[in-house]
Amino acid sequence: MSYVLSQNDPMSPCFTGLSDDPYAKRDFNVPSLFGTTVALWTDAQGTINAPRTKSEKSAMKTGLDAQAAIAGGPLFDLQYVIASPYAQTDLRGEARIYGFTAAWEPFAPNARLGGTIGAPATKYLDWFWQLRAEADIKRVDVVGATALTRGDYTWGGAVARLHLTPFPDRSIYDPFAEPVFADLIGRFYADVTVNYHREFNRRIDALLWGVEVGFNITPDGAASVSVSYTDGLDKDTLIKQRQYLVALNYKL
């Protein structure tokens, strides 16, 4: 969950990242600031039991995301640079952990990286992939309901995600195209996510991967039902996960 505090929108006339002259020619091979966003966020995971069990583990993080978008450059159309200080506890409020995450995420639609612009890949399937490089430094003062130990952690790694959309909507790009299955256009989706991080002080390898398949109940995807499976080691808690989840999702 996140809440945007401020946003420097490049479509606004008050945006400060572009030239004051609207007719000025831009060299898109030279990177330049394209927008900024600052947001509060909260993320929680794990279980809480009554009475409490020894196997109970959880994590809850709250932080501030400061994001800058950089347009242009020789390799990528757009790049996101994110700095995020955070505080972490558990669902009982016992753990006391502080950290800072720095991340970089590129966008190149011609390579279907970060998203796509234009017609779907095929009439049967559309797809894109995402890549996010991360560095995470944290200090653990109180362990709480995690498998961490007191001291400092220095993580480096990346998150890769593949998003699939069977039977994509092609009507915007080809109004005369015959749909394969009209009732299933944009209804199904699937995600495959792989997280790999290395802790350099303790030489810990954390590999966490997951698969999710969903069905959009509403055509706009505001409401959906999904089935997911997660397996591996979570770097935020050092807890091994093997979890199946059936969820009803709703987007505000």
Tell me the per-residue pLDDT of 148-162, one tens digit each, with 9 for 90 and over. Answer: 899 999 999 999 999
pLDDT score for 153: 96
Residue 58 in this model has a pLDDT that exceeds 90: no
% pLDDT > 70, the chain: 88
Residue scoring higher pLDDT (108 or 23) = 108
pLDDT score for 15: 45
Average predicted confidence (pLDDT) for the chain? 85
Q: How far apart are CA 193 and CA 212, in angstroms?
A: 9
Q: For 239, phi and psi rounded to 5 degrees?
A: -105, 130
Tell me the per-residue pLDDT of 175-210, one tens digit each, with 9 for 90 and over. Answer: 777 777 878 888 899 999 999 999 999 999 999 999
Q: How far apart are CA 71 and CA 207, in angstroms?
A: 32
Which tokens hold the place of 12? Answer: 């606004």
Residue scoring higher pLDDT (95 or 49) = 95
pLDDT score for 13: 43
Which tokens hold the place of 134? Answer: 């991360």
| CATH (domain of 155) | 2.40.160
Residue scoring higher pLDDT (149 or 25) = 149
Tell me the per-residue pLDDT of 80-90, one tens digit each, with 9 for 90 and over. Answer: 999 999 999 98
pTM of the complete model beyond 0.85: no
β pairing state of 78-89 and 58-71:
antiparallel
What mean pLDDT comes out for the span 44-63? 78
Q: Name the one residue in this structure whose structure tokens are 């749909």.
A: 179
Rounded (5°) CA angle 10-12-15: 60
pLDDT confidence bin for 101, thresholds 50/70/90: very high
pLDDT confidence bin for 23, thresholds 50/70/90: low
Q: How far apart are CA 163 and CA 140, in angstroms?
A: 34
pLDDT confidence bin for 14, thresholds 50/70/90: very low
pLDDT score for 81: 95
What mean pLDDT comes out for the span 110-128? 88
Which tokens hold the place of 88? Answer: 């972490």
The number of distinct structural domains making up the chain is 1
Residue 29 is part of which domain span? 2-250
